[in-house]
Amino acid sequence: MSIPVAYLSVVLIWSTTPLAIKWSAEGAGVLFAATGRMVIGLAACLLLVALLRRRIGWRRPALQTYIAAAFGMWASMLCVYWGAQHIPSGLVSVIFGLTPVFTGWLAAVWLQERVFTPFRVLGMLLGIGGLAVIFGRAPVLGPMALPGVAAVVVSVALHAVSAVWVKRVNARLHPLETTTGALIIVVPLYLLTWWLGGGVWPSHVPTRALGAIVYLGLLGSVAGFVLYYYVLHHSQASRVALITLVTPVLALLIGHALNAEQVGLRVWIGAAMILAGLASYQWGDAWRDRRLAVHPAGRI
């Protein structure tokens, strides 16, 4: 596949995923929508594994990786599915843009990585400030907006825990193998959660909700993940990191155009602060190093 086509596909999938999550639960319920997505995703992954004649290993490092990834797919996904029902879908994408910052905090503690450089600290502070601005706007967005924003923030934190956990295991598995192994573990968890939550089978699933569930199962859970790693393998990391800056803005515009979501000036200001913080976190140190290389006597 063409690298630009794969890149644009990832941007579109990630930008539309929050709105698809919101739509999928309308009339179907959060637990049914999330469980249906995972079941469809597992079926698609098993088909790809069979077609590509790949094997799913179950040795200890592989199993630990599947468990770590499954934790994010279950705990983090449940939080974001619930939170997305109470806030604009574009705002979900903006908050998820903070994933690298949360991951950096955990990597500093768990992996002893050097994270707290001046530009990264600036990025963290801007991100926190942006969240504070958005939290201040939350009551205007609706009576359940504040818990909705909090649920998505918790989802980002749990997703970061899962990512750092996978990195700590460092099993170096193929992305398809990791996804399939994690889904094999997580689907029974979702079925159990759905059953404990009442196990209600909707009498009628709206066409839009059904389409969103299928879209998320095939593209959100499988194609987006595989294409992302394909792009990551063939492109510079700095270009790939741009995805996290483009998708929140595009998601806000898509939510406004397709779902008539009104986010207001204060949310846009908070979003801008979060994206500026992410840019500082991702590229601030590299910019400083280039500047010092050109002007060795310079200081920042």
Q: Look at residue 13 and tell me whether its pLDDT is greater than 80.
A: yes
Global pTM? 0.82
Lowest-confidence region among 34-43, 76-85, 119-128, 217-226: 119-128
Mean pLDDT score across all residues of the chain: 83
The tokens describing 138, both together, are 């939350």
pLDDT of residue 105: 76
Residue 54 CA to residue 240 CA, distance in Å, equals: 27
Tell me the pLDDT tens digit for each residue of 129-178: 887 777 665 556 677 888 998 999 999 899 888 888 888 888 888 888 88
List, as own/partner pairs, every contact residues 106-113 make where C-beta atoms lie below 8 angstroms and the sequence separation is at least 24, other chains included.
106/160, 106/161, 106/164, 107/164, 107/167, 110/164, 110/168, 111/164, 111/167, 111/168
Handedness of CA 82, 83, 89, 94 (dihedral sign): negative
Task: Grade residue 300 by pLDDT with cuts at 50, 70 and 90.
Answer: very low
Q: Where in the chain are the domains? A: 3-199+212-294
Per DSSP, 158 falls in state: H
